[in-house]
Chain A
């Protein structure tokens, strides 16, 4: 009797065993939860408060990767400064580069601004192109499809479940996009300045003009010469919004705003970066509100 109970328990544990997924950033975790539903357990490695390029490879992140069946990453070089040393030490062959559980979202995205030539003389350039594609909501569905495909490969017995979750998510997301695209129409004529080319994809999608960046080169701190040039350029072009991320210093942006009669808007880059950006929908809604109104 005891043995039967034990065996049933063990079997049921195996039956209800969830796929452990580690996602580098919150938005990837959110998509994975949508597609994986009750069959996955998601942990996110990076805090949305911090610069996605400069996450510290803390030892406490090692068990999260070590215990994962699948690792979802943004890719295109954003994680190059912190994920490789963790992967090397996490001793988990299921999620190393080349394994089935290594899921690079950038592979299903058409990356923009792929540089013709690459040199560190241009600062922190990504040879693959601009990696901040998550800020265009139209890039969410391809990522969801990729995650679903990988989950089906790793956990084939729940394949149908993942398919129906995916179908449900796609139809939900498409109706969100219809509304979002309509809302963004009123934003079309805007011209902005960004701190870093972080919002490239959403600006490009809705034809919003990006006149320049607060940093002179990707990853290089602002200089006074560049700042003055930028102020003049903003005045010439009638720019009145500076898109500031949550993690860089705000002093320079505020200074530029005061000299160019423009406003600094704190724009979240990930789910959880600012209060209220607690879901994928709300992330984009907040971006829309702060950019367009």
Chain B
């Protein structure tokens, strides 16, 4: 009986205490709820205030459609020079390279793109734009502005995401044929184009509308194969249909601090046999290139670069082959100075034409900084004919070239 009573009272007291604890907890919960709603209230007020401030701050908006973050990279390049030459301008403009190029006929503008005049030359201003278009394409446009013309030097799209090491370029562009063709004048080691390019291809180089595909082999050694279909070889080429096909293979290895880059190229095209007969025939240009560059330190290097071009044209009387080469040695002394010599030779010509057309060029370049260069160039030219007579040209050129703005770094 007592036991029962004890147990009952224990249970009753437990229930009592438990009730007390629960009341306590309930109180605490109520307090916490109060806290929470107070915090929530403050937050609400703050948010409301922020919103009010935000709305109040908006007066007029002119920047809703601002796209300046998407502006393309833009740069401009200027090239100007002073030239001293042992020939009057009116005589110089009549030059030809016997067997290779013809003198301009009466009334025709001479095709000399750079440093034509004795005295001062403003060669060109270039505006280069580059932008990522979307996840799939990059785009580049280069406007070439001369005193009397605005030309589109290049304008092309390039793929970003093709698989299997492929990249396709389409538009108007400089062909990847040979070593120097794709490089713009302002990045050449000398201010003048190698003779063999002017003689066999033309002053513009291979630059036409077309499509290019380049493939990089998944090997440890660099191996690149390129194929291009383009509209035409030169502005004068026949244009009834696209008629220029180009292919090249390039590879490179390093030996210590020396890089060796070599390649073979082929450009197959149609050309006019002669204007009177209007015969269109095939022409093949073969190119061999070799560049050896030794790095002496971060700022100093020795570069040996050479190209050999050979052109075979089919004529009514059989194949005719003409060829030439250039070799240059450039010593980059430090960040500021470099110097170089170049030898040009057109050594194979039509059977009754001279095959001793040569030119010697020496250059001294001073770069105050990466984006400007002042060049002093000496030329002794034995490749030209004026009014039907061969004459040697001696020329001294002082030029300045600048690259300003957002200009992408140059390739090797």
| B408–A84 touching, CB < 8 Å | yes
Q: A293 to B287: give the CA distance in the assembly, Å.
A: 59
Is A39's beta carbon under 8 Å from chain B?
A: no
Q: A84 to B407: give the CA distance in the assembly, Å.
A: 11
Interface string of B202-240 (1 = CB under 8 A from A): 000000000000111111111110000000000000000
Is B28's beta carbon under 8 Å from chain A?
A: no
Is B148's beta carbon under 8 Å from chain A?
A: no
With a cutoff of 8 Å between Cβ atoms, the chain A residues found around residue B166 in the complex are: 91
With a cutoff of 8 Å between Cβ atoms, the chain A residues found around residue B335 in the complex are: 221
Task: Write the chain B residue with the least CB distance to A124.
Answer: B370
| B165–A219 touching, CB < 8 Å | no
Is B410's beta carbon under 8 Å from chain A?
A: yes
With a cutoff of 8 Å between Cβ atoms, the chain A residues found around residue B250 in the complex are: 59
Tell me, rounded to whole Å, the shortest Cβ–Cβ distance linking B41 to chain A.
38
Tell me, rounded to whole Å, the shortest Cβ–Cβ distance linking B259 to chain A.
5
Is B336's beta carbon under 8 Å from chain A?
A: yes
- Top 6 nearest A-B pairs (CB, nearest first) are A59-B252, A51-B298, A93-B161, A85-B411, A247-B298, A50-B298
Is B297's beta carbon under 8 Å from chain A?
A: yes
| A67–B218 touching, CB < 8 Å | yes
Q: A81 to B223: give the CA distance in the assembly, Å.
A: 23
| B160–A59 touching, CB < 8 Å | no
Task: Write the chain A residue with the least CB distance to B371.
Answer: A120
Tell me, rounded to whole Å, the shortest Cβ–Cβ distance linking A185 to chain B.
34
Tell me, rounded to whole Å, the shortest Cβ–Cβ distance linking A73 to chain B.
14
Is B369's beta carbon under 8 Å from chain A?
A: yes
| B220–A63 touching, CB < 8 Å | yes
With a cutoff of 8 Å between Cβ atoms, the chain A residues found around residue B219 in the complex are: 63
4 more CB-based (< 8 A) A-B contacts, given A63-B217, A63-B220, A249-B334: A50-B298, A54-B299, A93-B162, A124-B370
With a cutoff of 8 Å between Cβ atoms, the chain A residues found around residue B188 in the complex are: none
How many CB-defined contacts (below 8 Å) exist between A and B? 101
Is B412's beta carbon under 8 Å from chain A?
A: yes
| A247–B297 touching, CB < 8 Å | yes
Is B254's beta carbon under 8 Å from chain A?
A: yes
| B259–A91 touching, CB < 8 Å | no
Is B382's beta carbon under 8 Å from chain A?
A: no
Q: Contacts A58-B252, A219-B369 known; A93 to B160 CB distance under 8 Å? A: yes
Which residues of chain A (179-225) have a CB below 8 Å from chain B? 219-221
Task: Write the chain B residue with the least CB distance to A248.
Answer: B298
Is B348's beta carbon under 8 Å from chain A?
A: no
| B259–A60 touching, CB < 8 Å | yes
Is B116's beta carbon under 8 Å from chain A?
A: no
Tell me, rounded to whole Å, the shortest Cβ–Cβ distance linking B34 to chain A.
42
With a cutoff of 8 Å between Cβ atoms, the chain B residues found around residue A67 in the complex are: 218, 220
With a cutoff of 8 Å between Cβ atoms, the chain B residues found around residue A88 in the complex are: 138, 158, 411
Which residues of chain A (227-247) have a CB below 8 Å from chain B? 247
Tell me, rounded to whole Å, the shortest Cβ–Cβ distance linking B135 to chain A.
8
Is A80's beta carbon under 8 Å from chain B?
A: yes
Task: Write the chain B residue with the least CB distance to A99.
Answer: B161
Considering residues B252, B293, B298, B369, which has the most beta carbons from chain A within 10 angstroms of its beta carbon?
B298
Which residues of chain B (394-410) have a CB below 8 Å from chain A? 404, 408-410
Is A66's beta carbon under 8 Å from chain B?
A: yes
Tell me, rounded to whole Å, the shortest Cβ–Cβ distance linking B42 to chain A.
33
Partner of B222, one of A54, A62, A84, A93: A62
Is A78's beta carbon under 8 Å from chain B?
A: no
| B160–A58 touching, CB < 8 Å | no
| A63–B221 touching, CB < 8 Å | yes
Task: Write the chain A residue with the least CB distance to B295.
Answer: A56
Q: A80 to B369: give the CA distance in the assembly, Å.
A: 16
Partner of A58, one of B167, B370, B412: B412
Which residues of chain B (241-296) have a CB below 8 Å from chain A? 250, 252-254, 259, 261, 293, 295
Is B107's beta carbon under 8 Å from chain A?
A: no
Task: Write the chain B residue with the least CB distance to A62.
Answer: B222
Q: A20 to B135: give the CA distance in the assembly, Å.
A: 23
With a cutoff of 8 Å between Cβ atoms, the chain B residues found around residue A66 in the complex are: 165, 216, 218
Which residues of chain A (133-187) have a CB below 8 Å from chain B? none
Is A96's beta carbon under 8 Å from chain B?
A: yes
With a cutoff of 8 Å between Cβ atoms, the chain A residues found around residue B410 in the complex are: 85
With a cutoff of 8 Å between Cβ atoms, the chain B residues found around residue A93 in the complex are: 160-163
Q: A92 to B159: give the CA distance in the assembly, Å.
A: 11
Q: Contacts A60-B253, A60-B254, A221-B336 known; A89 to B411 CB distance under 8 Å? A: yes
Q: A46 to B163: give the CA distance in the assembly, Å.
A: 26
| B216–A90 touching, CB < 8 Å | yes
Q: A181 to B142: give the CA distance in the assembly, Å.
A: 53
Q: A91 to B162: give the CA distance in the assembly, Å.
A: 8
Tell me, rounded to whole Å, the shortest Cβ–Cβ distance linking B302 to chain A.
13
| B167–A91 touching, CB < 8 Å | yes
A-B contact pairs, 14 of them (CB 8 A): A54-B298, A57-B411, A59-B412, A63-B218, A63-B219, A63-B221, A66-B216, A80-B409, A84-B409, A89-B167, A91-B162, A91-B166, A92-B165, A93-B162
| B369–A123 touching, CB < 8 Å | yes
With a cutoff of 8 Å between Cβ atoms, the chain B residues found around residue A90 in the complex are: 216
With a cutoff of 8 Å between Cβ atoms, the chain A residues found around residue B293 in the complex are: 56
Tell me, rounded to whole Å, the shortest Cβ–Cβ distance linking B295 to chain A.
7
Interface string of B133-166 (1 = CB under 8 A from A): 0010010000000000000000000101111011
Interface string of A67-86 (1 = CB under 8 A from B): 10000000000001110111
With a cutoff of 8 Å between Cβ atoms, the chain A residues found around residue B301 in the complex are: 56
With a cutoff of 8 Å between Cβ atoms, the chain B residues found around residue A51 in the complex are: 298-299
Task: Write the chain B residue with the least CB distance to A86.
Answer: B411
